[in-house]
Amino acid sequence: MTQTKLEQVVRRITAPLVDEPGALLPVLHALQDHFGHIPTAAVATVAQLLSLSRAEVHGVISFYDWFQSEPGGDTTVYICRAEACRAMGGAAVETAAKQHLGIDFHQCSRDGRISLQPIYCLGNCACSPSVMVDEQLFSRVTSDKIIEILDAIAGGNS
Amino acid sequence: MNGRVYVPCDSTAASLGADAIALALQKLHPEFEIIRNGSRGLCWLEPLLEIDSPDGRLGFGNVNAQEIATLFADGMPTRAHSRCLGPVEDLPYLRAQQRLTTARIGVIRPCSLDDYRAQGGFAGLAIARRLSGAEIVSTVVDSGLRGRGGAAFPTGIKWQTVREAPGNKKYIVCNADEGDSGTYVDRLIMECDPFVLIEGCVIAGLAVGADEGFIYCRAEYPLALKTLQRAIELARDAGYLEDFTLRVRKAAGAYICGEETALLESLEGRRGQIRFRPPLPALEGLFGKPTVVNNVVSLASIPGIFAQGAARYQSVGSGRSRGTLTVQLAGNIKRGGLVEVPFGLTLRQLLEDFGGGTASGRPIKAVQAGGPLGAYIPPALFDTPLDYEAFKGIGAMLGHGGLVVFDDSTDLGQMARFAMEFCAVESCGKCTPCRIGSVRGVEVIDKIHRGEQPDDNRILLRDLCQTMIDGSLCALGGMAPYPVLSIMEHFPDEL
């Protein structure tokens, strides 16, 4: 996408939200929903439309784990690291996923299919360990089950 | 019509195959009416199907899509079926509860105004509309309700402060950034009974003179966000929001934004860094205006307080902890789920009578109460009653009501390390004791685990914890040492 084209898209997405009180988070969510991440080239346009400095916009993007500056995998797998999941073997699920994909958290599998993200609580703590694939939640995930889930995504039938 | 089948639609039930069950049922039995109700919070039984009967709704627990064909082979199963649990409301787990705030979850379809009204919805608002703002505030004061997010500050007093604050523009902010591990009642309310939260927000607005509100909900809760959006549209179309603008705002994955001043920063479109206090948010909150910031459970308790009377709510409880607490049994527990009971029950009653012990069948080693900043409590203290002051007395806190159970295979030394690691990941960076202290905490704990001058390093760790407690600006750095210190005190072999 050319810079001009990108700017047009960013303007189209941002414009309806400009008058929202405290519009920056809704704008960034909308951009990430559209692009899958927040392109660095969009920062200047967002800053201009919201009368903010580029530093302010960048500072907000970098503060929140939810916002990604780089393109990630087609699918994001979130593995809960919090206490209720650890009480049921969540740490082993985390290790199994990393080993199976050969990557660490905040990285993307080599085929570009899967991004692996840590998450701190999915609110499913009575049926832990929990994993979320994009917006789909999984309960009572074991080391074996996470590999099945990852293979299903890689096989394209998630 | 050949009968109704209730298939819960919340995230937990969905994660265990409820949507597939609904599809399978529809295909096999197009004559059935399938109701997508919320979850009753009996999480260990999900997916919990229900069917109508003269004795009430009969439950079938832990159903999977593959067995639908056999379960419904002869049409509707009867109470005599081997899988039938009997009437759901007669299950001891539910019978022993007193559901005031969560009375409707699992009973109704989340986004049905008719269902909501049929179960007493909007009765509280109708009563509140006939009262003055001052009368609404005094009703809440009389109920004895204290903030259920964790800080336990009297809700009525907070409202009074905002009501009396000068200024024409005021805000209601609902803190739905339920980040504590082991807690999920906010999610259940938002996914299963969203109108009660909306009703609570409107009543809060009437009380303090606010015409605008925000629900700041975690990004980790996609279904709650969608359900709230839909419910707000429906409530608006039905005329319940004519004098009150309510918006849902999606958070962005920062635990610190559960702290109210960081939440306000985030709502204003900034980094979620905490603010110095004073000024209190009640006087200078969102966009500098007087603001009520209340947790989901606090606001969801309000309509019932008006519908049934403040005296009714105040009449249950223990000591200065009035009403009910929505306890969430989590982690290594056999019967994990939502337990709404009056304050005063003991931890043991919750863990054993409701929870049935661990899921693994091994002995309980410890329970972490009140989220990642809460103490690890040993079995010797399980006779402590649920009561804000009693918990404080044992160096613990009830917080948002989450109880995470660990069995005897747990390495609590690693959990202490995790408490510091979590603080390091989630620190907003504004104050040094939290930002740097948490990183040093991980390092010192690692040294102790490696056997490097363990006695000296334990002294150093205690000193570091005290510095964080005394010097941090908010509860994240100020309380992250509590799990660590509780493990050092109660489980000295582990750290």
Q: What is the pLDDT along chain A (158 residues), one digit of tens a residue?
A: 788 999 999 999 999 999 999 999 999 999 999 999 999 999 999 999 999 999 999 999 999 999 999 999 999 999 999 999 999 999 999 999 999 999 999 999 999 999 999 999 999 999 999 999 999 999 999 999 999 999 999 886 54
- How many alpha carbons lie under 13 Å from residue B373 in its C-beta half-sphere? 28
Q: Provide Rg for chain A, Cα atoms.
A: 18
| Average pLDDT taken over every residue of chain B | 97
A87, A121, A124: residue with CB nearest B15: A124
Q: Give the Cβ contact number of residue B275 at 10 Å.
A: 18
- Is B193 within 8 Å of B105 (Cβ atoms)? yes
One-letter identity of residue B495: L
Whether the per-residue pLDDT at B89 is higher than 60: the answer is: yes
pLDDT at B410: 98
Chain A residues 96-115 with a CB less than 8 Å from chain B? none
CATH of B113-314, picked from 3.40.50.1000, 3.30.1360.70, 3.50.50.60, 3.40.50.11540, is 3.40.50.11540
Q: Is the pLDDT at B245 greater than 80, yes or no?
A: yes
Tell me whether residues B183 and A85 touch, CB distance under 8 A. no
Per the rule left: phi > 0, alpha: psi between -120 and 50, beta: everything else, B109 is: beta
* Closest C-alpha among B408, B419, B412, B322 to residue B370: B419
Q: Check if B218 contacts A (Cβ < 8 Å).
A: yes
The answer to whether residue B269 neighbours chain A at the CB level (below 8 Å) is yes
- DSSP symbol at B387: -
- Asked if B43 has any chain A CB less than 8 Å from its own CB, the reply is yes
Smallest CA–CA distance from A57 into chain B, residue: B270
B178/chain A closest Cα distance in angstroms: 8
Name the token pair of A3.
């810079």
Question: Can you tell me whether residue B384 is helix, strand or coil?
Answer: coil
Task: Please tell me which residue of chain A has the smallest CA distance to B355.
Answer: A126
**DSSP annotation string for B314-367:** HTSEETTEESEEEEEEEES-TT-SEEEEETT-BHHIIIIIIT-S-SSSSPEEEE
- DSSP letters for B175-214: EE---STT--HHHHHHHH-HHHHHHHHHHHHHHHT--EEE
Contact map slice: B 337-376 vs A, CB within 8 A:
337, 359, 368, 372
What topology does CATH give the domain B4-95? Glutaredoxin (3.40.30)
Of A67, A83, A130, the CB nearest to B404: A83
Radius of gyration of chain B (CA): 23
Q: Sheet of B402-407: strands edge to edge?
A: B338-342, B324-331, B402-407, B364-369, B376-377
What's the pTM value of the predicted model, to 2 decimals?
0.98
Task: List pLDDT tens digits, range B163-201.
Answer: 999 999 999 999 999 999 999 999 999 999 999 999 999
Q: Which member of A85, A87, A128 has the closest CB to residue B410?
A: A87
- Residue A131's closest chain B neighbor by CA? B15
Is A23 within 8 Å of chain B by CB? yes
Percent of chain B with pLDDT over 70: 100
Instruction: Look up tokens 């787990």; give the residue.
Output: B93
Phi, psi of B33 (to 5 degrees): -95, 120
Query: Do residues A30 and A14 make contact, with C-beta atoms less than 8 angstroms apart?
Result: yes
Q: Which residues contact B443 (CB under 8 A, 6 or more apart)?
A: none
Q: What is the average pLDDT across B386-411? A: 97
**Is B254 an interface residue toward A (CB < 8 Å)?**
yes
CB pairs under 8 A between A and B: 153
pLDDT at B233 over 80: yes
For residue B383, is pLDDT > 50? yes
Pairing between strand B402-407 and B364-369? antiparallel
Q: Quick one: which of A86, A94, A78 has its CA closest to A143?
A: A94
- Considering all CA atoms of chain A, what is the largest pairwise distance in Å, rounded to the nearest integer? 51
Mean pLDDT of B88-112: 98
H-only helix segments in B74-172: 92-95, 113-118, 123-129, 133-143, 155-164
Confidence (pLDDT) at B227: 98
Query: What number of CA atoms fall less than 13 Å from residue B220's CA on the CB side?
Result: 29
CB A130 within 8 A of CB B409: no
| Cα–Cα dist B23/B18, whole Å | 9
What value does the mean pLDDT take over residues B36-41?
Answer: 98
Report pLDDT for A155.
Answer: 84
Coil/strand/helix, residue B38:
coil
Residues B358-369 have pLDDT tens digits of 999 999 999 999
Put simply, whether B230 touches A (Cβ < 8 Å) is: no
For B223, the closest chain A residue by CA position comes to A135
Neighbours of A1 (CB within 10 A): 11
> What's the CATH fold of domain B320-405?
Ubiquitin-like (UB roll) (3.10.20)
Whether residues B422 and A120 touch (CB distance < 8 A) is answered with yes
Out of B270, B331, B422, closest to residue A87 by CB: B331
Q: Which fold is adopted by the domain A75-154?
A: Glutaredoxin (3.40.30)
- Selecting from B15, B178, B410 the residue whose C-beta is nearest the C-beta of A139 gives B15
How close, in Å, is residue B310 to chain A by CA atoms? 30
Q: Is B285 on the interface with A (CB under 8 A)?
A: no
Q: Identical fold at B4-95 and B412-490? A: no
Cβ atoms of residues B37 and B107 within 8 Å: yes
Residue B2 has pLDDT above 90, yes or no: no
The minimal CB distance from A59 to the residues B267, B271, B422 is found for B271
Can you point out the beta strands (E) in B251-337?
291-295, 317-318, 321-322, 324-331
Return the CATH number of the domain spanning residue range B412-490.
1.20.1440.230
The interface residues of chain A toward chain B in range 114-153, judged by CB-CB distance below 8 A, are 119-128, 130, 132, 135-140
Sign of the Cα torsion B241, B115, B107, A129 reads negative
> Contact at 8 Å (CB) between B125 and B204?
no
Give the separation between CA B441 and CA B457, rounded to whole angstroms.
10
The full set of domain ranges for chain B reads 4-95, 113-314, 320-405, 412-490
Q: Which residues of B touch A82 (CB under 8 A)?
A: 181-182, 372, 422
